[in-house]
Amino acid sequence: MSELVSGAHRDPRIVDVHAHFLPAAYRPVLETLTAKSGTPTATPESAAPEVRRVFAAMSDEPGMIDQRLDMMDDAGVARQILSPGSMAPYGREPRMAVEAARLLNDSYRELTGSRTTRFSSFVSLPLPHIDASLEELRRGLDELGMAGVALGCSVFDRSTAEAEFEPLYEEMNARGTTLFFHPCQNGICSPLINDYGFTTAAGASLEDTAIVLQLIKRNIPARYPDIKIIIPHLGGLIPMQLARLDAQASTPDLLGPPSVMARSLYYDTVGWGSQAALRCACEAFGADHLVPGSDFSALLAVESYARTFEYIKESRLSEQEIEKILYGNAPALFDFDKPIPV
């Protein structure tokens, strides 16, 4: 894996809000959980050989944390906010889901506690079990000192914007919590996507799009304005849809224009190097609402960790916009209001 680290070390100031960590102790629990739920999830053991290197980079296998830190230094990243992505501890059986969530959150706390200046993490919840999730949310934020909450865009094909998840939004709003969404890799449950092999390549962006639309329809950004919501991957199709949504989806039940609610959210910069997508998102949402993300370690299959952020520096955005996106917005969002020591 050493070939993934190259170049001179940079002054680290970036807060990467979208970085994955898969501790070894969690893997067998995840496999059992998903098998019992009838929803197989990609794991290192089930991945193709060429993908295993990417899985290894997000693990705590010997040497991998030190290698991750080297990549962070090389990329100018001060801190990663860790989450499991599509490998969240969701299970139909409450006891197993709770055990998986507690083990995962405790593993995250072990890492973040040993390197407090370099890693923070989001609380993972034992969904779809609301009471248990509220308990774990409170434990993660109050006892484990986690930086926010992670939710899948859906749970067993139910949008997490649905009414049954309302108590979670009430709790997060009362706390002013940062909430990070992530696709579940279900291709929005569509054979028109999945049967054609685009579950990840295009389906993930469609999941991002769908959760924003569902949040808008349920008025969640308007009804819970103190939740700081982050949508990954530049918001999928949303940057290109704002005018059309205002024209065709502004209904009496909405508490504001769709574009206004969409612009109240935050979006990470994972764009697979697309300058066009980055400029579109910046124009649609404003530089104040873009935060650095890497999808670590997925993009290591195609580029270095440093390259994931260099594409922003090389964009045709203004220096002021680049400064906000790379260095200003995320520390403010997480109340990292002082320079992060390294």
Q: What is the pLDDT of residues 254-294, one digit of tens each?
A: 999 999 999 999 999 999 999 999 999 999 999 999 999 99
- Residue 227 is assigned to a structural domain of this protein: yes
- Residue 4 is assigned to a structural domain of this protein: no
**Residues with Cβ within 8 Å of residue 5, at least 6 apart in sequence:** 67, 70, 71, 74, 304
Is the pLDDT score of 46 beyond 60? Answer: no
Number of domains in the chain: 1
Q: Angle at which helices 166-175 and 130-138 pack, to 10 degrees?
A: 20
Determine which helix (DSSP H) or strand (DSSP E) holds 15, and give its type and residue range.
Answer: strand 14-20
How far is it, in rounded angstroms, from Cα 149 to Cα 335?
15
Determine which helix (DSSP H) or strand (DSSP E) holds 140, and give its type and residue range.
Answer: none
Q: Which two tokens stand for residue 143?
A: 């006892």
- Residue 341 is assigned to a structural domain of this protein: no
- Residue 151 is assigned to a structural domain of this protein: yes
Q: Range with the lowest mean pLDDT among 9-13, 150-154, 169-173?
A: 9-13
pLDDT tens digit sequence for 163-211: 999 999 999 999 999 999 999 999 999 999 999 999 999 999 999 999 9
Give the confidence band of 342 by pLDDT, cuts at 50, 70, 90: very low
Q: What is the pLDDT of residue 45?
A: 55
Average predicted confidence (pLDDT) for the chain:
92
* Measured CA distances, 194 to 201, 235, 330 (Å): 10, 20, 34
Q: What is the pLDDT of residue 52?
A: 73
Give the residues across from 158 on adjacent strands. Answer: 155
- Peptide bond preceding 128 in cis form (omega within 30 of 0): yes
Is the pLDDT score of 140 beyond 50? Answer: yes
The percentage of residues in the chain with a pLDDT greater than 90, rounded to a whole number, is: 86
Q: What is the mean pLDDT of residues 217-237?
A: 98
Q: What is the pLDDT of residue 142?
A: 97
- Residue 325 is assigned to a structural domain of this protein: yes
Q: Which of 146, 176, 145, 149 is nearest to 160 (CA)?
A: 149
- Residue 197 is assigned to a structural domain of this protein: yes
Q: Is 0.75 surpassed by the pTM of this model?
A: yes
**Which of 10-14, 258-262, 300-304 has the highest mean predicted lDDT (pLDDT)?**
258-262
Q: Which residue blocks in 165-257 are alpha helix, DSSP H?
A: 166-175, 191-194, 203-217, 220-223, 242-248
- Residue 339 is assigned to a structural domain of this protein: no
Per the structure, the complete domain to which residue 305 belongs is given by 11-331
Q: Which of 32, 39, 77, 62 is nearest to 291 (CA)?
A: 77
> What is the CATH number for 149?
3.20.20.140
- Residue 342 is assigned to a structural domain of this protein: no
